[in-house]
Amino acid sequence: MFPACRFSLRARRCVGALKAIQAEHVTPQLYSTRSSSSTVPRITTHYTVYPRDKDPRWEGVEMERFADEADVVIVGGGPAGLSAAIRLKQLANQHEKELRVCVVEKASQIGAHTLSGACLEPTALSELIPDWKERGAPLNTPVTEDKFSILTEKYRIPVPILPGLPMNNHGNYLVRLGHFVRWLGEQAEELGVELYPGYAAAEVLFHEDGSVKGIATNDVGIAKDGSPKDVFERGMELHAKVTMFGEGCHGHLAKQLYKQFNLRENCEPQTYAIGLKELWVIDEKKWRPGRTEHSVGWPLNRNTYGGSFLYHLNEGEPLVALGFVVGLDYTNPYLSPFREFQRWKHHPSIMSTLEGGNRIAYGARALNEGGFQSIPKLTFPGGMLIGCSPGFMNVPKIKGTHTAMKSGMLAAENAFSKITDENLQSETAGLYIPEYEEAFKKSWIWKELYSVRNIRPSFHNYFGLYGGMVYTGIFYWIFRGKEPWTLKHIGLDSAQLKPAKDCTPIKYPKPDGKISFDLLSSVALSGTNHEHDQPPHLTLKDDSVPVAQNLAIYDGPEQRFCPAGVYEYVPLETSDGMRLQINAQNCVHCKTCDIKDPSQNINWVVPEGSGGPAYNGL
């Protein structure tokens, strides 16, 4: 049943694409129907905020969902999810067992929502697919040179990269991670994994005993005002003995699971950063395939965590991947990560590489920075958390793909043992597999994250960046993270903004259209597209909060921390105030708004499947 629905969805996508071409630029609309306050324009129309069972427009609409069964359902077709799927089928083939493994992915194609630097450490890949070179894995650029520097406004101060420091990338590869993920998908399909791109997992399903039963994909054919269209179709249910959640950073289903099973009871809150990235074709004379360049310092001040990367790729043309990362625990509501990125490119040491080049792609994504201290409980009845969803990124290395892949492999190995145990007597309908967490704590992931656990929180000191670098030099390079203490993070990123009245506005230079660019032309390079006539998937718990709190206290920071121009404050039609306008079509699915919103009023949920960016090897 599940595959049969693919064709109706594809047909609807084609119709939606034609409509998008006919109405290439549609002015976003807001609805002024009744809400909690008669003077507040209605913004949110999503059924997660306004239940359909109380909406007369939904009376008589068929709400039954078809269901399908699998042994394992994996949410998210990224490095972790695909590694888990591959390992499961490897074990099934090795032991001659029948095992149905299904992967659902919200992007239209495997890899289309994937964004990373990326400098790949091949440890987990070599464990999973030892003959990856012979199989044509797109690891085309071995690192040949590392450069690290501290930037001032006009100068670059080189910093030596000693053996053993996190920025030493000897043996690693520069990759376009979306292409690598697509290749992993091909390996999975060869083994018999069922891949379903274009299906967004919208809901966690539970058995009567409280264990996870599986997931439901999102409904389609809902109008922007929340009413059913003539083509409305209910999502599908996928049931499984075990469901693995590998949604990536700040997954919206994982958020529900944290609360449902109290998974964050014994860990610190997760902390995050936003990473912005561009691909450029540069002058071949400036191209140095295999070179990595990292920097800290300007344009950020010493108390704002962040840094940059510039990688020279060997992909048949003089390509460089460059990006800028800003920790989302910054305090000034006037800071714009996107504009900091654009300003950074004008540094003499960066601009000299880019001059005469051509920007061909742009994207952005949040990333986990909490590390060891923020790892939640990974297992619960019927399910497991894998990859960047719980957050296994090695922050000083700026690498998380290898740890994500390994976590998926560990989850697969322990799930396979339980699923194929003919004598197993489970206490719950959904299998509970605590062995995965035990294996994780014995793995090299745990040791690696433990050794660097204090580097990120060490930046929270009077000297900021420089104090953190000194700490890293002493306690990581000399003692390898064996100090007998563990530093704490400062709390939720959403709680760190200061009121606008206490901060100095930041004046950013205008983009020149050659090195730096405006936001909307950047979003256009991401290939982002959503069906216009659907409820905004950026939902608000209370439509009055943005103006009453975020704008009044913080001068509307969502206008600046969003890297896609989704949020705008515009004058009311009556000209006696402001309202928030949500341009949901622009959303690149970075999740930054859900993380950084100081009122924690924004809840990111999945749009219709296939919506979002269409990254080509970011």
**Which residues are catalytic, by number?**
116, 365, 401, 562, 587, 590, 593
CA distance 104 to 107: 9
Q: Strand ranges (DSSP E) for 509-582?
A: 538-540, 567-571, 578-582
Sequence length of the chain is 618
Asked if residue 561 lies in contact with residue 596, where contact means CB atoms within 8 angstroms, the answer is: yes
Which residues, 6 or more positions from 320, have their beta carbon under 8 angstroms from its beta carbon? 279, 280, 282, 287, 310, 311, 312, 313, 353, 354, 357
For 595, the token pair is 């993380």
- Cβ-count burial of 233 within 10 angstroms (0-12 exposed, 13-18 middle, 19+ buried)? middle
Cα dihedral 33, 34, 38, 44 in deg (nearest 10):
-80
Which residues, 6 or more positions from 563, have their beta carbon under 8 angstroms from its beta carbon? 274, 276, 337, 338, 364, 519, 588, 590, 592
Peptide bond into 299 cis (omega under 30): yes
CA distance 408 to 85: 8
Asked if residue 337 lies in contact with residue 563, where contact means CB atoms within 8 angstroms, the answer is: yes
For 15, the token pair is 């119709």
What is residue 553's DSSP assignment?
A: H
Going by C-alpha positions, the residue among 581, 617, 618, 587 that lies closest to residue 605 is: 587
CA distance 209 to 429: 7
Cα dihedral 267, 113, 63, 72 in deg (nearest 10):
-60
C-alpha pair distances (Å), 268 with each of 247, 263, 273, 281, 371: 20, 11, 16, 42, 10
Which residues, 6 or more positions from 247, have their beta carbon under 8 angstroms from its beta carbon? 75, 76, 201, 253, 254, 389
Which residues, 6 or more positions from 116, have their beta carbon under 8 angstroms from its beta carbon? 177, 275, 365, 400, 401, 618
CA distance 84 to 246: 9
